[in-house]
Amino acid sequence: MSKLPNISTSIFTVMSKMATEHNAINLSQGFPNFPVNERLTDIVAKLAKENVHQYLPMSGYPPLLSKIATLVDDSYGRIIQAETEILVTAGATQGIFTTILTLVKTNDEVIILDPSYDCYEAPVLLCNANPVRVALNDDYTPNWATIEKVCSSKTKMIIINNPHNPTGKILTKSDFEALEILLEKYPDILLLSDEVYEYITFEEKHISAHTREKLLHRCVIVSSFGKSFHVTGWKVGYLVAPENLMKEIKKVHQFLVFSVNSICQVAISDYLDLVSVDEIGKLYQEKRDYFRQLLKESRFELMPCEGTYFQVASYAAISNENDVDFCKRLIIEHGVAAIPISTFYADGKDLKLIRFCFAKDNTTLEEATKRLCAI
C-alpha cells in the first residue's frame, strides 16, 4: 500500500543515471561541474582537524545564523532575528518538506504553479492535503486571475518559485502587487517562497519576498547554499519565517533531522566572511550567454532565460517525438542529457521543450553544444 501511488523516481535521478550509463554529457540534473572555490575547500580541510564534529544547536550554528541575518539585511534590507526567525535545513528540500508538514493539514489545498519543481507535491499528499496545480501563462508569468479563481477557505498555502525552475522566469513588481491584493482577501493563506536561485539573475534584479512588507507575516522563504556556493551535495539551506510559524516548524525539524551537519555549517559560516554573493549572477550570466551563443547554429529554439542556471529549448524543428522519448534518444544517440519539461506539469503536457543545465565548465559546454549543433 503506497502512500504516494502516483509519484515515481524523480526525473533528475532517472536522467542522471541514464547519462552515466550511456557516458553522455549530463546537462540534465542541475549541479555545477566546475571546481568549488579553493577558499571554501581550504576551510573544510582546516576544519576537519578541529573540534567541529558534534551536534550543533538545533536551529543552526549560531555564528551562521547571525551571518544569514546580515546577508538578508545586506541583500534585501530586511532585519530578521537570528534566534527566532531562521532555521538551517538539510538543503532547501528539507526546508520545504518541513514547512509543508508543519503547516498543512488534512484536506487543506495548496496551490502549485505549473510547470513546477518536483519537491512540492509529495509533502502535500503526505499531509492528506490536496495539491491544486495551476498552469502559468504561456510566457510563464502567473495568471493571478486564474489563481484567484481556485482560492477558497480551503486554501492553506500558495507556493511560488522565483527565480523559476525550469523556465528561468523571475517575478516582477506587478506580480507581487497582484499577489498582495489577492492575499489581502484571504488572511489565512500562507505563502511559501522558494528562492533557491535568488542570486542567479541576469539583466533584471531578483525581487525577493523579503522585500514585500505586506507578505512577511505569512511568508516562509527558502534559500539554498548548495546553489549559491556551487555545493549542491552539501545539502545546506535555510528558512526564514515569522516567529509564530518558525516556532512550529522547529518542532517538526527537531524530529526530522534535529540539526544539520556541523562541518558544512561552520565552513559556510567562515566562507561568508570571505565572499560576496554579488559575483554569482555574473558568473552564470557569462555561462548563459556562452551557452546560448554556442547553440546559435543549432536547430534548437532558445527560450528567454532571466535567472537560474537552466536554459529551456524547443526541439520542434528537429523532431515530433514526445519530450521524454526525445530526451532518451538525445542521450543514447547524441550523448547529451537534458530534462523533458512535461515532467514539471501535473497533466504531463508535451510542448516539445527540454531543459539544459549550463552550470558547467566551458569545455563541457563546448563539447555538449557541438553535439547538439550536429543534430
Q: Kindly tell me which of 80 and 313 has the beta carbon lying closer to ligand GLN.
A: 313
- Closest approach, Cβ 125 to ligand PMP, in A, equals 17
Closest listed residue to residue 305, CA positions, set 201, 199, 230: 201
Query: DSSP letter at 335?
Result: S
CB closer to ligand PMP out of 117 and 356: 117
Number of residues that bind ligand PMP (CB under 6 A): 15
CB-wise, 93 or 208, nearer to ligand GLN?
93
Look at the alpha carbons of 23, 25, 29, 34 in this order and tell me if their dihedral is positive or negative: positive
Mask for 7-36, x = binds ligand PMP (CB under 6 A)? -----------------------x------
- Shortest CB 161 distance to ligand PMP, Å: 5
Q: Which is nearer to ligand GLN, 183 or 331 (CB)?
A: 331
List Cβ<8 Å contacts ≥24 apart for 52-58.
52/262, 52/263, 52/266, 53/262, 53/263, 54/262, 55/258, 55/259, 55/262, 56/259, 56/260, 56/262, 56/265, 56/266, 57/259, 58/250, 58/253, 58/254, 58/258, 58/259
The correct pick among 16, 93, 99, 259 for binding ligand PMP (CB under 6 A) is 93
Does 170 interact with ligand PMP (rule: CB under 6 A)? no
Q: Which residue is nearest to ligand PMP (CB)?
A: 91
Stretch that binds ligand PMP, among 58-66, 90-98, 298-306, 340-348 (CB under 6 A): 90-98
Under 8 Å between Cβ of 243 and 217 = no
Tell me if 115 contacts ligand PMP by CB under 6 A.
no
Residue 244 φ then ψ, to 5°: -65, -35
Residues within window 175-234 making contact with ligand PMP, judged by CB under 6 A: 194, 196, 224, 226, 232
156/164 with CB nearer ligand GLN: 164
Longest dimension (CA), the chain: 58
DSSP annotation of 35 reads P
10 binds, among ligand PMP, ligand GLN, none (CB under 5 to 8 A by kind): ligand GLN
Looking at beta carbons only, is 165 or 311 nearer to ligand GLN? Answer: 165
CB atoms within 10 A of CB 94: 22
Site for ligand PMP in 117-136 (CB under 6 A): 117, 119
| Residues sharing a CB contact under 8 Å with residue 267, sequence separation 6 or more, in sequence order | 40, 43, 44, 47
Helices 91-103 and 243-256, axial angle in degrees (round to 10): 110
The partner in contact with residue 29, picked from ligand GLN, ligand PMP, none with C-beta cut-offs of 5 to 8 angstroms by kind, is ligand GLN
How far, in Å, CA of 222 to CA of 166, rounded? 17
Residues that bind ligand GLN (CB under 6 A): 10, 12, 29-30, 165
Tally helices (H) and strands (E) across the chain.
14, 13
User: Nearer to ligand GLN by C-beta: 27 or 209?
Assistant: 27
State the residues that interact with ligand PMP by CB under 6 A.
30, 91-93, 117, 119, 161, 165, 194, 196, 224, 226, 232, 235, 237
